[in-house]
A = this chain, B = another copy of it.
Amino acid sequence: MSFIATAQSMHFAQPLALQSGASIRDYALSYETYGTLNADKSNAVLICHALNASHHVAGVYANQPRSEGWWDNMVGPGKSVDTDHFFVIGINNLGSCFGSTGPTHLNPDTGEVYGANFPVVTVEDWVDAQARLLDVLGIQQLAAVMGGSLGGMQALSWTLRYPARVRHAVVIASAPNLTAENIAFNEVARRAIVTDPDFHGGHFYAHGVVPKRGLRIARMIGHITYLSDDVMNEKFGRHLRDAAKAVQGGVAGEAAGYLFSTQEVEFQIESYLRYQGDKFAEYFDANTYLLITRALDYFDPARAYAGDLGLALAQASCKFLLVSFTTDWRFSPQRSREIVKALLRNRRNVSYAEIDAPHGHDAFLLEDARYLAEVRSYFERIAKEFA
The chain A residues found within 8 Å of chain B, CB to CB, are 19-22, 116, 119-120, 124, 177-181, 183-185, 187-188, 190-192, 194-197, 202, 213, 216-217, 220-221, 223-224, 227, 229, 232-233, 235-238, 252-256, 258, 260-263, 266-267, 269-270, 273-274, 277, 287, 290-291, 293-294, 297-298, 300-301, 303-304
Contacts and interface: CB of A to CB of B under 8 A. Distances in A.
The prevalent SS among residues of A at the interface is helix
B120 A261 contact: yes
B270 A187 contact: yes
Nearest to A197: B197
Looking at A181, A217, A256, the one whose CB has the most chain B CB atoms below 10 A away is: A181
How many of these chains are in the complex?
2
Contact of A300 (B119, B217, B254, B294): B254
30 contacts: A19-B254, A19-B258, A20-B260, A21-B255, A116-B263, A178-B238, A179-B229, A179-B233, A179-B238, A180-B235, A181-B232, A183-B267, A183-B269, A184-B273, A187-B220, A187-B274, A188-B220, A188-B221, A194-B263, A196-B213, A202-B263, A238-B303, A254-B300, A254-B301, A254-B304, A256-B303, A256-B304, A258-B298, A261-B294, A262-B287
A16 to B, nearest CB: 15
A217 B217 contact: yes
